[in-house]
Structures are given as C-alpha cells and as structure tokens.
Amino acid sequence: MVLQAPGGGHSVSLLQRFALVSLVVFAALGVGLNYRFSQSIEETAIDGAVQTAQDTLQARLIAQVPRTQLKWAMVDADKRRAFERALATGVLSHRTVRVKVWDEWGRVIYSSDKHIIGKRFPLKDELQEAIGGKAAAEVSSLTSAENRGDRTLGSKLLEVYLPIRYPHDPHVYGVFEIYERYAPVARQIAETERMVTINLSAGLLVLYLLLFGIVRSGSRTIARQQKALVRYTDELEGSYNQTIASLAAAVDIRDTSTEEHSVRVTELSVALATWLGWDEEAIRAVQRGALLHDVGKIGISDSILLKPGPLSDEEWGEMCKHPVIGYTMLRAISFLDPSLAIVRHHHERWDGTGYPDGLRGEEIPESARLFAVVDAYDAITADRPYRRGSPHALAMEIILRDAGSHFDPRMAMAFAEMMQERLALPRRPHLVAV
C-alpha cells in the first residue's frame, strides 16, 4: 500500500512509515530503559557494598571490640592500638582504605587523621541516618572538612556509614564510616551496564524485527485483499452494466421501430454530460438512466406499442404510463437510484405540460432535462420502418425552436454547441445537414 503525499510526487509506503516510526520508538524505548537500568544497577551495587561492609563489621570487628574498648579508643593509647589491630585484621581489605568512628553525638572517636580525634563536626545526612540506626552510603569526593586528611586516598571513594550495635542491644553506640575505593564498584557497575545494554539492544532488535515481519506480512495481505476487492467490484459493476444493457436491449428488440435507440441516446447523453463537465458519478447515472429510460415499455401491450397507425386517446393514456412502470420496476435496485430521475421524468416538459408528474422548469431533475433533448434529437433523426429520419439541421431547428417550451433552454443550447463541435460544423445560425 502506498500513501500519496500532499502535493504529489513523493510517496511513502505504509510499511516504510511504520518501519521508520517504530524504529524511532524502539530507539527511544531502548535509551529510556537503559537509563533506568543503569540507575538501578548503580543503586544495587552500592547497596551490595553496604551489605558486605555491614556483614564484615558485625562478623569481624564488633565481636572483637567490646563496648568499653570502643569508648576508650579515643583517649587510651593501648585500647586504641588494640582497636587498630582489630581493624587491620578484621575490617580493612584491599577495597577498604580507611575507617572513621563516630560516637552517637557526632564526635570523632577514631580516625587515621589524629588531629580530628575528639572533635565534633556538623552531622551530614548519611551520618545522621546511621546514628538513627540505618546504614547509608554515598559516593564522595572528600570535600568536607573532616575528610581533609584523607584527600590523598583518591578522587572518588564510597563512604559507607554503619550503625554500631551489639547483639541483643538495640542502642546505637556510634557509627563506623568506612571508606572504600569506588573504582572496583564502578568497574562492576560498568560491566553489568555493558551486559544489560547488549542484551537489551539485542532483545529490542529481535522484537522490532518480529513486529516488522508481522506488519509486512499483514500489509501484503491487505494489499492482496484490496486488489481482489477491486477486481470483485469491477466484476460486480460489469455484471450490473450487462444486466442493464440486457434490459435495454429487451426493450429495443420488442419495439422494433426504435432499434438501438437506447444505445444511441446513451452515447449522446454521456457525451453531453461530459461536455457540461459533470462528475464521474453523475455521468454514470446518466449512462444507466439513458439505457433504461424506456424499460417501462415492457409493461405496455403489443397492440399499443407495435401499432403502426396513430394511437387513440385511451391508447396514448396507456403509453404514457411507461415512465412510471419503468420507475416502479427499478426503484428496488439501490444502485440505480441516481438513474431513476431519467426513467421517470424523461417526458416532462419545461413548460409543465409533460408527464407523468407535470413538473415545470427546474423542478424537473437536471439529468432528465438533459436527456429529454437527446431523446428528441434521436427520435427526429433516426430511421423508422415507416419513414426515414429527418436531417440533423432540422432536428436542431426543432430543438432550438422548442427551447423554453419543451426543453430546458440551457440544455438545448449546450446540446447545439456540443453537436457543432462534434460534427465540426460552422456555428449557428447556419446549421448544415449531415
């Protein structure tokens, strides 16, 4: 299926448009999901580091350093050395680079920077949180005052704040602030992010290709069905037209005096409607209406229809019923609705003296006014079994003479002009016979 862009020229298929739009959507989805996953991976990695530090602290240090030793580590050299030994063997690893210990009032009990031991500093959020009993962490660049002595440790550290609790005692006795190198955590995060990005991209690509395949297959099916529908519609329309032509032929065959009259008036009516610039739908209505205009004659008895001489008043009254009989025959066929005006009103006259409804002027449907001129022209010029047809010029004289009484003047004039063009004759008033 192809969509024509406004202005013509450039065209984009529905499938191409889908491929482009969905590619953009999938790319945006990939970027968004990747961002969310990256955040989640970083949070998980930091939480993991906090949990590991907490496990290590509980298992190796708290068990070895009683409460009293912790309390006196600040002022007693022996107790501090014992505390440092316990730290060195129990907590400091290749990742853990420093430990700072705070008491529950925000005072430094222990630090590698001895100048700050015993000093109190403003409580940062994470420290406050840990004093409240909850482990916390942040990635730090060591800019705060109490870290002045530790700035040689590297540009980025993971600061983990762990509440100090003893078994079976809910009280928080202080906070361990453990500095870990952030680089190993960052490497782990980067590696996990790389794997997630690869898997996510591959997954989205597979999904996109699957979706594209489904849409392409659906698009081809729709195109195939559309072609079949067009073919079916053409066949159906062909059947309609054949049916209409058969009906018209039946009338022409029965009324031998008007042999092929229906075909000739159809050709001329379509030519006039086209000359007037009517649209395709209106022209089709004229074509079908012209072919079927006298179909009601099927309902007129042979004794009247085929009578060689003039008709009596009563016979004429019967004959005048054929437009209504035709209309009644066809009105149940919905696709002929636009053509019924010609069938019913082709014997109306501009001055209101026609039949069956005595319509006047523009009350008469435009297609019936158009057809009335053509019908009269053919009736005048066609050969009959009992007489030869009159010349074109005489027919045109009669039509133009009766414009405004029998015929719509505009239609009569249009017909005359069209016939002049068709027959390449000089313009009025010097009409020449063919």
Burial of 312 (0-12, 13-18, 19+ CB in 10 A): exposed
Q: Which is nearer to Fe ion, 118 or 356 (CB)?
A: 356
Listed ranges 15-23, 57-65, 290-298, 349-357: which one lies at the site for Fe ion (CB under 5 A): 290-298
CA of 121: how far to CAs of 98, 159, 162, 174, in Å?
18, 16, 17, 14
List the beta bridge partners of residue 120: 107
In the complex, the smallest distance separating the C-beta of residue 296 from Fe ion, rounded to whole angstroms, is 8
Residue 124 half-sphere exposure toward CB, CA atoms < 13 A: 18
367: closest CA among 339, 334, 398? 339
Helix (H, G, I), strand (E, B) or coil at 171: strand
Q: Which is nearer to Fe ion, 108 or 290 (CB)?
A: 290
Listed ranges 33-41, 79-87, 288-296, 365-373: which one lies at the site for Fe ion (CB under 5 A): 288-296
Q: Which is nearer to Fe ion, 165 or 321 (CB)?
A: 321
Listed ranges 82-90, 119-127, 289-297, 364-372: which one lies at the site for Fe ion (CB under 5 A): 289-297
Residue with tokens 């032509």: 245
List the beta bridge partners of residue 20: none
Listed ranges 26-34, 210-218, 294-302, 392-400: which one lies at the site for Fe ion (CB under 5 A): 294-302
In the complex, the smallest distance separating the C-beta of residue 355 from Fe ion, rounded to whole angstroms, is 10
Listed ranges 39-47, 233-241, 286-294, 331-339: which one lies at the site for Fe ion (CB under 5 A): 286-294
Residue with tokens 């004959």: 319
In the complex, the smallest distance separating the C-beta of residue 234 from Fe ion, rounded to whole angstroms, is 31
In the complex, the smallest distance separating the C-beta of residue 370 from Fe ion, rounded to whole angstroms, is 15
Query: Residue 402, interface with Fe ion (CB under 5 A)?
Result: no
Q: How far apart are CA 412 and CA 417, in angstroms?
A: 9
Q: Which of residues 146-205 bind Fe ion (CB under 5 A)?
A: none
278: closest CA among 213, 210, 217, 369? 369
Q: Which is nearer to Fe ion, 294 or 378 (CB)?
A: 294
Q: Which is nearer to Fe ion, 65 or 368 (CB)?
A: 368
Query: Residue 103, interface with Fe ion (CB under 5 A)?
Result: no
Query: Residue 294, interface with Fe ion (CB under 5 A)?
Result: yes
Q: How far apart are CA 80 and CA 70, in angstroms?
A: 8
Residue 181's φ and ψ, nearest 5 degrees, are: -65, 130
Q: Which is nearer to Fe ion, 177 or 294 (CB)?
A: 294
State the residue number with the nearest CB to Fe ion. Answer: 294
Helix extents (H) in 1-121: 14-56, 67-72, 77-90
Q: How far apart are CA 424 and CA 58, in angstroms?
A: 113
Amino acid at residue number 418: M
Helix extents (H) in 255-391: 261-275, 280-292, 302-305, 313-319, 322-330, 340-345, 366-381
Per-residue contact flags (x/-) with Fe ion for residues 349 to 388, judged by CB under 5 A: ----------------------------------------
Q: Which is nearer to Fe ion, 159 or 294 (CB)?
A: 294
In the complex, the smallest distance separating the C-beta of residue 378 from Fe ion, rounded to whole angstroms, is 11
Q: How many residues bind Fe ion (CB under 5 A)?
A: 1
339: closest CA among 253, 241, 268, 210? 241
Listed ranges 212-220, 223-231, 276-284, 292-300: which one lies at the site for Fe ion (CB under 5 A): 292-300
406: left (phi over 0), alpha (psi -120 to 50) or beta: alpha
Q: Which is nearer to Fe ion, 172 or 324 (CB)?
A: 324
List the beta bridge partners of residue 136: 161
Q: Which is nearer to Fe ion, 280 or 302 (CB)?
A: 302
In the complex, the smallest distance separating the C-beta of residue 346 from Fe ion, rounded to whole angstroms, is 6
Q: How far apart are CA 184 and CA 156, in angstroms?
A: 11
Q: Which is nearer to Fe ion, 98 or 369 (CB)?
A: 369
Omega before residue 323 within 30° of 0, cis: no
Residue 16 half-sphere exposure toward CB, CA atoms < 13 A: 8
Q: How far apart are CA 385 and CA 258, in angstroms?
A: 9
In the complex, the smallest distance separating the C-beta of residue 297 from Fe ion, rounded to whole angstroms, is 7
In the complex, the smallest distance separating the C-beta of residue 356 from Fe ion, rounded to whole angstroms, is 11
Q: Which is nearer to Fe ion, 104 or 315 (CB)?
A: 315
In the complex, the smallest distance separating the C-beta of residue 292 from Fe ion, rounded to whole angstroms, is 11
In the complex, the smallest distance separating the C-beta of residue 322 from Fe ion, rounded to whole angstroms, is 6
In the complex, the smallest distance separating the C-beta of residue 242 from Fe ion, rounded to whole angstroms, is 22
Binding site for Fe ion (CB under 5 A): 294
